[in-house]
Chains A and B, each alone.
Chain A
Amino acid sequence: EPEVTQTPSHQVTQMGQEVILRCVPISNHLYFYWYRQILGQKVEFLVSFYNNEISEKSEIFDDQFSVERPDGSNFTLKIRSTKLEDSAMYFCASTRGQGSYNEQFFGPGTRLTVL
């Protein structure tokens, strides 16, 4: 069964450093998402991406964040200068179509720890 994969599973970084979180969505999917989950809290939407551009972003997704689909398979989230409060699980998700009833498939997540 196809699945969303994410690497690394755990990333530890120093405050102020740049990190890139990587995702490989399901191969025939066209819509991509990043969510984050601070420990013990709910999952929060960050950004959606389609046709090589951002469709929507939340207030969390400020200028320190960027997304890219550098090739036909990867979808990345970059944080330019990490802050302590960026420590969280980051989930990538993908969906085949844009319709409301298309299921979003989630990856296993990357745990980001900012020291």
Chain B
Amino acid sequence: GESVGLHLPTLSVQEGDNSIINCAYSNSASDYFIWYKQESGKGPQFIIDIRSNMDKRQGQRVTVLLNKTVKHLSLQIAATQPGDSAVYFCAEKRNRISGGYNKLIFGAGTRLAVHP
């Protein structure tokens, strides 16, 4: 089936703490995954991506981990700030091998609330 889902719908953290947002995907043929941030009233904004030949990728304050064995993704945000408050979506890009023409299959989203 086509599903990319999330374990936690809401995550509340204290400013300065690290945040971890999880995601599961179902298509083992998928080879590219993206995390998006969506602020209220805006479109999804690219945060970080990872290809299936990697298990970890780091950006500025963000790290994505990929575990292909259990089909699991996570987004780690270091030193979470109030500006990080948003809904975070994982997405899986489907290509000809995994069943699509580069469409994105989004997960359900996790709302991150950062408290001072």
Contacts and interface: CB of A to CB of B under 8 A. Distances in A.
Interface stretch (A14-22, A64-72, A80-88, A104-112): A104-112
Nearest to A92: B43
Nearest to B6: A42
A33 B93 contact: no
Interface residues of A, number: 28
Contact of A91 (B34, B44, B91, B93): B44
Given A42-B108, A100-B93, A48 B101 contact: yes
A17 B31 CA distance: 41
Contacts of B46: 103-105
A44 B3 CA distance: 11
A45 B102 contact: no
B102 A48 contact: yes
Contacts, number: 63
Interface string B25-59: 00000011010100001111110010100000000
Interface string A24-66: 0000000101010000011111001000000110100000000
A109 B42 contact: yes
A35 to B, nearest CB: 7
Contacts of A41: 108
Contacts of A58: 103
Contacts of A73: none
Interface of A: 4, 31, 33, 35, 41-45, 48, 55-56, 58, 91, 93, 95, 98-109
* Across the A-B interface, the 6 shortest Cβ-Cβ residue pairs: A106-B43, A43-B106, A45-B103, A56-B101, A55-B101, A100-B95
21 contacts: A35-B104, A42-B89, A42-B109, A43-B104, A45-B105, A48-B101, A56-B100, A56-B103, A58-B103, A99-B102, A100-B93, A100-B95, A100-B102, A101-B32, A101-B49, A103-B46, A104-B46, A105-B46, A108-B41, A109-B41, A109-B42
